[in-house]
Amino acid sequence: MPKAVAVKGNVLSYKGSAYLRQRLVLAVLSGKSVKIEDIRKYDIDPGIQEFEVNLVRLLDKVTNGSYIKLDETGTSLFFQPGMIHGGTIEHDCSLDRSIGYYLEVLILLAPFCKNPLHVTLKGVTNNKIDPSVDHIKASVLPVLRKFMLNDEGLELKILKRGMRPLGGGEVVFKCPIQNQLNPVHILNQGKVKRIRGTAYAVRVSPTMANRMVEAAKGVLLKFIPDVFVTTDHCRGKQSGNSPGFGIHLVAETTEGVFYSAEAISNLVAEDKEPSVAEDVGVTAAQRLLIEIYQGGCVDSVAQSIACVFMTLGQKNVSRIIVGSLTDYTIAFLRNIRDFFGITFKVDYYIEEDSNPEEQEGAPKISLICIGAGYTNLNKRYL
Q: DSSP letter string over 177-230?
A: --SSPPP-EE-----EEEEEEEEEEESS-THHHHHHHHHHHHHHTTT-S-EEEE
Question: For residue 51, is it left (φ>0), alpha (ψ between -120 and 50) or beta?
Answer: alpha
Report residue 300 CA to chain centroid gap.
9
Query: How many helical (H) and strand (E) elements, i.e. helices and strands, does the chain have?
Result: 9, 19
Contact 122, 92 (CB under 8 A): yes
At residue 170, the 3 state secondary structure works out as strand
pLDDT at 241: 87
- The structural domains of the chain, ordered by start, are 1-83 (3.65.10.10), 192-294 (3.30.360.20)
Distance CA 116, CA 247 (A): 32
φ, ψ (nearest 5 deg) of residue 19: 55, 35
Digit-coded pLDDT (tens) for 89-128: 999 999 999 999 999 999 999 999 999 999 999 999 999 9
Instruction: Please count the other Cβ atoms lying within 10 Å of the Cβ belonging to residue 231.
Output: 17
pLDDT at 355: 57
Amino acid in the structure at residue 48: I
Ranges under pLDDT 50 in the chain: 1-7, 381-382
Digit-coded pLDDT (tens) for 216-250: 999 999 999 999 999 998 887 778 889 999 999 99
- Report which DSSP code applies to 291: H
pLDDT at 1: 43
Residue 42 contacts by C-beta under 8 Å, 6 or more apart in sequence?
Answer: none
At residue 333, the 3 state secondary structure works out as helix
pTM of the predicted model as reported, rounded to 2 decimal places? 0.92
Instruction: Please count the other Cβ atoms lying within 10 Å of the Cβ belonging to residue 88.
Output: 11
pLDDT at 176: 94
pLDDT at 382: 41
Encode 54-116 in three state secondary structure: HHHHHHHHHEECCEEEECCCCCCEEEECCEECEEEEEEECCCCCEHHHHHHHHHHHHHHCCEE
Amino acid in the structure at residue 84: I
pLDDT at 335: 96
Contact 22, 335 (CB under 8 A): yes
Burial zone of 142 (CB within 10 Å; 0-12 exposed, 13-18 middle, 19+ buried): middle
Q: For the chain, first and last CA: distance in Å?
A: 45
